Amino acid sequence: MKTQIIQLASRPEGLPTQDNFKLAEVELAKLNDKQVLVKNLWMSVDPYMRGRMIDRKSYIAPFALGEALEGGAIGEVIESNNPAFPVGSKVSSMLGWRSHFVSDGEGLTLLPETQLNESHFLGVMGMPGMTAWTGLTRIAQLKTGETLFVSAASGAVGSVACQIGKLMGARVVASVGSDEKAEHLKALGVDAVINYKTCGDLNTALAQAAPEGIDVYFENVGGEHLSAALNHMKDYGRIAVCGMIAQYNDTAPTPGPANLAQIIIKKLKLEGFIVFDHWAHYSEFAKQMGTWLAQGEIKPEQTIYEGLSQAPEAFIGLFEGKNRGKMLVKLG
């Protein structure tokens, strides 16, 4: 049989366009012993994928031109020669951006029996949720009564970080790019929300939102947000650096904030992290997140595009602020 795939047709310069992607069909080999055929049901698009479209050394290999892209996916086993993955099993993999694939089981994880929609294992129960939990609990070690600032707070990671922050007893300040997103976060219990596109001066707006200063900054954006956060961090504050989406499409190096000396003056701890380095703690996270979801204390957010052909549009939409919560593609 054939599978549809999305290839990287060319390397983007600046914001990706549809021309950087190509929908193609390739023939799949017949199943050998111990192999399974998986039909993808859901796939994830994530900001980190933009870095893999650049041919440079990083913490993960770049995508190859003319090859299928990769990313988190949830699928169903529809043919099986492997007793560990019987027909009907739901599995997670990193083989998104394609409708079907053949696997010998390596890299496949059986989803647990649960009442949750399987799509949540790409969002609040998957990498984004784990990233938010890791940044707050293991990197920044947020404490009850502290003030937490979250940038890109309506995104897949940021929206979960805001909710976890409230559950951990923090006062949460958030930054988003629209009034609609701001109102939604307030409805989730976030204490103060800044629309950075309309607030005028972000530094002044942050001073008003966090008049006593910031203990923990969950960094998703970089640039002006990092500069403003440094100005308002308390002594011995902690910054968990998850991403810097403001720079992902830059075509030239971006100058760093002019106030980096605040790191020394305020004795700050600033630590970048990659969630895969902390995956040994996934079971601890999943137990806690599962409890929060069952009790209705975390409200998962999703933005869904329909069909594999819409995956490039969904990905580009990440950088245009079109998602609230996790950006997903539902495959037909």
For the four alpha carbons of 243, 276, 43 and 133, in that order, the dihedral sign comes to negative
Task: Tell me the pLDDT tens digit for each residue of 84-103.
Answer: 999 999 999 999 999 999 99
For the four alpha carbons of 275, 278, 280 and 281, in that order, the dihedral sign comes to negative
The distance in angstroms from the start CA to the end CA of the chain is 16
Please report how many Cα atoms fall inside a 13 Å half-sphere around the Cα of residue 102, on the Cβ side.
Answer: 14
- Asked if residues 126 and 193 have their Cβ atoms less than 8 Å apart, the reply is no
Task: Tell me the pLDDT tens digit for each residue of 228-287.
Answer: 999 999 999 999 999 999 888 988 888 889 999 999 999 999 999 999 999 999 999 999
With 0.75 as the threshold, say if the pTM is over it: yes
pLDDT of residue 332 exceeding 80, the answer is no
